[in-house]
Amino acid sequence: MEKKPHFVRRELLPREVPSISLALLLAAVLLLNALLYLYLSKFSSSLGRVETDSGLCPFGHFKFGAVKNCSPWLSCEALNREVRKLKCVGEGAVKKVFLSEWKEKKVVLSQLTNSELKEDFLHGLKMLKALQSKHVVRLLGYCEQQFTILTEYHPLGSLRSLNETLHIPKYKGMNTWHRRLMLAIDYVSIIRYLHSSPLGTLVMCDSNDLDKVLSQYLLTSDFHVLVNDLDALPLVNRSAGRLVKCGHRELQGEFVAPEQRWPYGEDVPFEDDLMPPYDEKTDIWKIPDVSNFFLGHVEGSDIVRLHLFDIHAACKKKDPAERPSAQEVLDTYRKVLTLLIREAAMPGTREML
């Protein structure tokens, strides 16, 4: 009889230990989930770069740097009196861009260079005023009479120099699959915003090749993406039967969507009047190529590409109607980011359970 307690102890011990271990493991998983939730909540505001923000000023106003109060957009008089050009930093078909100074702050002054393209310039200004949001470079002032626009300066420049920037020692810590995917999310968020803008469905027409696309966007110092050039944003209005054409020249190459290419073969000379119009799904076709640039070739980027394979295949459907909306692409990108962060935070948890 005295051996019975000893028998009971030996029988219970192996069962109690796993129970305690399992309880500790479950507690650890719950703690990691809580930490992961807080982590994702921290970044949720930046994932989509939401349009509404308490820091935005009323229409016609801006605030700059650490200044708390909103100021009216600078007028022609204020631009002439208070803004000083420093140097030319870029020139395109429509405008010349100057790094400038206003009240000891760096700003960007854009001026029309070709009077034949003044309608494009004024359209870009109209879009810039109407679309002010977290997705669009900040407008500080303008002068229509002098065809001049003043915007916020971003020292990291356009997305064309992204890879070079990420190799600078100061920014090497940003060169991860996670940060690169977040930049791709910013980009898709901008496309989603343009497709559902306050003005209606807008198409990003300055996007005939990858380099041209990247030149339209800026990289901010806190590593987010802003659209900067809005000169070519035609409006799609399906209810009115209004589609668009990106320019009046023949577009070629695999980067542009199939419906943007001349459909009648090489034997028929291109004629703009015969070219069928199209809709915003041309932007969707280009998303995989732009995202592939964002993801680069860092550790983990191929895993991200694998998770995005299906949505990218859908973006490349020849029939525009079969491609997903920008919102559907954005939702998928966010889900993939959440999934991969969870897996990185809790490696092997599923196997342990």
Domain containing 213 — which CATH number? 1.10.510.10
Both 160 and 196 in one domain: the answer is yes
- In a domain, residue 30? The reply is no
303-326 per-position pLDDT tens digit = 999 999 999 999 999 999 999 999
Task: Please write the tens of the pLDDT for every residue from 130-161.
Answer: 999 999 999 999 999 999 999 999 999 999 99
CA distance 187 to 183: 6
In this structure, are 217 and 228 located in the same domain? yes
Q: Are residues 103 and 191 in the same domain?
A: no
Q: How far apart are CA 246 and CA 207, in angstroms?
A: 9
CA distance linking residue 114 with residue 94, whole number of Å: 6
Total tally of structural domains belonging to the chain: 2
Which amino acid does the sequence have at 226? Answer: L
Spatial neighbors of 182 by CB under 8 A, at least 6 apart, are: 43, 46, 47, 223, 337
Surface-to-core class of residue 196, CB atoms within 10 Å of its CB (0-12 exposed, 13-18 middle, 19+ buried) = middle
Does 300 fall in a domain? yes
Domain end, chosen from 152, 186, 221, is at 152
Q: Extract the tokens encoding 3.
A: 């051996």
For residues 201 and 318, membership in a common domain is answered with: yes
Residue 195 lies in a domain: yes
> HSE of 48 in the Cβ direction (CA atoms, 13 Å)?
17
The reply to whether 108 and 161 lie within a common domain is: no
Residue 1 forms part of a structural domain: no
CA distance 295 to 308: 11
Please indicate, yes or no, whether residues 147 and 184 belong to a single structural domain of this protein.
Answer: no
Token pair 């807008």 in the structure block, residue: 202
Distances (CA, A) of 173 to 28, 36, 210, 284: 28, 21, 25, 30
Q: Tell me the angle at which helices 281-295 and 177-195 cross, rounded to the nearest 10 degrees.
A: 170
CA distance 309 to 323: 14
For every residue of 215-253, which 3-state class applies, written as one string?
HCEEECCCCCEEECCCCCCCEEEHHHCECECCCCCCECC
Domain boundary among 152, 183, 217: 152
18 belongs to a structural domain: no
Domain of residue 225 covers 153-345
Task: Supply the DSSP symbol for 58.
Answer: P
Q: Is residue 50 part of a domain?
A: no
Quick: pLDDT tens for 153-202. 999 999 999 999 999 999 999 999 999 999 999 999 999 999 999 999 99
118 lies in the same domain as 194:
no
Examine the domain organization and report whether 137 and 195 are in the same domain: no
- Which token pair is 290? 């732009």
**pLDDT averaged over consecutive 10-residue blocks of the chain (353 residues)?**
48 54 61 56 46 70 85 96 95 92 96 92 95 96 97 96 96 96 98 97 96 96 96 92 94 97 95 97 98 97 98 98 98 97 71 43
C-alpha 331/C-alpha 235 separation (Å) is: 24
Quick one: pLDDT at residue 210? 97
Task: Please report the sign of the dihedral spanned by the C-alpha atoms of residue 151, residue 154, residue 155, residue 157.
Answer: negative
Domain boundary (117, 152, 187) is at 152
